[in-house]
Amino acid sequence: MITQRAAVAATPDDFLLSPDGMLRLDAICINLIALDEAVKGLDKITRGELLPGYPEIYWSGVMKMRNKIAHHYFEMDAEVVFKTLKEDIPMMPPLCTA
């Protein structure tokens, strides 16, 4: 769902220069928060055995992103979100992004 919403953004400005882009950015940020909650849940269910199987993913960065969005929303940088969508989300296990 995150990648579908992000597909129309070719640059970070695509989130900022139109009302539709701002709505997409809002929806993506909410989904990034949900993704973190899902990752935490999966880690708990697997008793900490899932995440170490994907060492290429900066899991603590996932959690930091969630905290940044949830607690400092008005400081959110569209470029950081865009980079996350284009570089980090594609590396996530399909289980996390479904």
**Which residues in 86-98 are b (16+ Cβ under 10 Å) and which e?**
eeebeebeeebee
Q: Domain total for the chain?
A: 1
Contact 81, 25 (CB under 8 A): yes
> Which is the catalytic residue, given 5, 24, 47, 71?
71
Encode pLDDT of 36-88 as tens digits: 898 889 899 999 998 898 898 888 888 888 888 988 877 889 999 999 988 88
Instruction: Mark whether 66 is an active-site residue.
Output: yes
Q: Which of 5, 47, 66, 72 is catalytic?
A: 66
Residue 98 lies in a domain: no
Which structural domain range is residue 57 located in? 2-93
Whether pTM exceeds 0.85: no
Residue type, 59: W
Residue identified by tokens 């969508």 is: 85
